[in-house]
């Protein structure tokens, strides 16, 4: 049973369906069951985007508004911004002393991102230390559960290795945090790849209905359906993958209409767009109401910080004591 839960989001702007089904729905559930700390990982964003920080603040604010509109309740969870919690930075320094270089070079995202983000100089100290910073995020509040997507598992494993090493060197101090992998469906973007802002294939939670419709109509489908009369195979179509999430009770009908060419892809997509739009209606309403309240995102972050900081200070004081710098 989860007791203290923590997770962070890099501020990349508005949240999209990939976030929602990836772990946001789970986070909304967890706020009822556990003590939750959810934060904006703006230092992590800087490790790859330090050359253009101009939108960091806007992205942070947008993400917080989306969190609130989606149903995270600042009375129940502490929402804060990483860069407002200097204890994390100092803690990362200590953890970096005990983390062997080889562990960091072995983390898959280190090499992958070097290749994906070509053109950006990210062979930096900061980027190599990305997982150490993440370990500091987690341990600064002694989180025992971390809801993340599968891509984050190597980082979580590294946090556990760091815990073992810390405990071995300085005595039993931290428990090993566990990852909370929610059984989330794959959410394809409009081009069929995993939905991600960096691919530009995303549907944002705040998109107006016309925009959702436009994006769904642009989705790739089974390439065998070249004309309206060609039958299709729903299992080869990313529109159908989204129907599995949004129309689970109509799957047979939808698959049948695809295989018999009873529906054209446009009809099939209209049904999906309608459904996605409808499911986000109250989100859009709450989002608009929140936008009317000046500075609400920053107030919420300030309040979350106030609740997190004493705990962070306590943990850091213990680390300093253990490492002889008290
Ligand atoms: N690396 C995570 C991501 O890219 C974000 C993150 C930073 C995080 N610190 C964390 C997630 C601590 C969980 C716990 O999504
Ligand atoms: Fe995909 Fe629907 Fe077209 Fe079939 S009818 S190929 S499921 S969009």
The answer on pLDDT for 121 being more than 90 is no
For residue 237 and ligand 2, the question of a CB distance below 6 A is answered with yes
- Ligand 2: atom nearest CA of 255 is 7
For residue 10 and ligand 1, the question of a CB distance below 6 A is answered with yes
For residue 238 and ligand 2, the question of a CB distance below 6 A is answered with no
The stretch 84-96 carries a mean pLDDT of 98
For residue 215 and ligand 1, the question of a CB distance below 6 A is answered with no
The stretch 147-161 carries a mean pLDDT of 94
Nearest CA to ligand 1 atom 9: 134
Q: What pLDDT was estimated at residue 198?
A: 86
For residue 63 and ligand 1, the question of a CB distance below 6 A is answered with no
CA 280 / ligand 2 centre spacing (Å): 23
* pLDDT tens digit sequence for 278-319: 999 999 999 999 999 999 999 999 999 999 999 999 999 999
* pLDDT tens digit sequence for 22-69: 999 999 999 999 999 999 999 999 999 999 999 999 999 999 999 999
164 within 8 A of 170, measured Cβ to Cβ: no
d(CA 138, CA 259): 48
The answer on pLDDT for 119 being more than 80 is no
Nearest-ligand number for the alpha carbon of 226: 2
pLDDT-derived band at 1, boundaries 50, 70, 90: low
The answer on pLDDT for 183 being more than 90 is no
CA 245 / ligand 2 centre spacing (Å): 15
Q: What pLDDT was estimated at residue 257?
A: 97
What the chain holds in terms of domains, given with CATH numbers, is: 4-187+294-322 (3.40.50.620), 208-279 (1.10.240.10)
- Ligand 2: atom nearest CA of 259 is 4
d(CA 274, CA 71): 22
Encoded tokens for 106: 């072995």
Cα 60-76-65 angle, rounded to 5 deg: 25
* pLDDT tens digit sequence for 35-48: 999 999 999 999 99
pLDDT-derived band at 118, boundaries 50, 70, 90: confident
* Most distant CA pair in the chain, distance: 75
Mean pLDDT, the chain, integer: 95
CA dist 136 to 107, 178, 248, Å? 17, 15, 40
Nearest CA to ligand 1 atom 14: 7
pLDDT-derived band at 2, boundaries 50, 70, 90: low
CA dist 262 to 229, 232, 272, Å? 8, 10, 16
């Amino acid at each position: 049973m989860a007791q203290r839960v923590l997770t962070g989001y890099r501020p990349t702007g508005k949240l999209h369906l990939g976030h929602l089904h990836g772990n946001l729905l789970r986070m909304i559930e967890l706020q009822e069951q556990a003590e939750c700390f959810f934060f904006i990982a703006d230092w992590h964003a800087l490790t790859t985007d330090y050359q253009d920080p101009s939108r960091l603040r806007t992205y942070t604010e947008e993400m917080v508004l989306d969190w609130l509109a989606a149903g995270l309740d600042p009375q129940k969870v502490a929402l804060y911004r990483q860069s407002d919690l200097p204890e994390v930075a100092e803690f990362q320094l200590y953890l970096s002393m005990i983390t062997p270089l080889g562990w960091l070079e072995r983390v898959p995202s280190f090499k992958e991102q070097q290749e994906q983000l070509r053109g950006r100089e990210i062979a930096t100290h900061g980027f190599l230390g990305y997982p150490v910073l993440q370990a500091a995020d987690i341990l600064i509040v002694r989180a025992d559960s971390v809801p993340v997507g599968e891509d984050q598992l190597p980082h979580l494993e590294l946090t556990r290795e760091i815990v073992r090493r810390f405990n071995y060197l300085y005595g039993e101090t931290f428990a090993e945090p566990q990852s909370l992998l929610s059984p989330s469906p794959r959410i394809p973007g409009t081009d069929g790849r995993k939905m991600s802002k960096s691919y530009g294939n995303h549907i944002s939670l705040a998109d107006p209905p016309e925009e959702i419709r436009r994006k769904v109509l642009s989705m790739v489908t089974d390439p065998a359906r070249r004309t309206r009369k060609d039958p299709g195979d729903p299992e080869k179509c990313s529109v159908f993958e989204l129907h599995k999430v949004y129309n689970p009770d109509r799957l047979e009908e939808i698959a049948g209409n695809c295989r018999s060419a009873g529906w054209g892809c446009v009809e099939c997509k209209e049904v999906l767009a309608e459904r996605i739009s409808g499911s986000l209606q109250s989100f859009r309403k709450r989002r608009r109401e929140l936008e009317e309240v000046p500075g609400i995102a920053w107030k919420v972050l300030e309040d979350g910080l106030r609740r997190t900081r004493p705990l962070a200070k306590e943990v850091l004081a213990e680390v300093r004591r253990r490492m002889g710098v008290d």
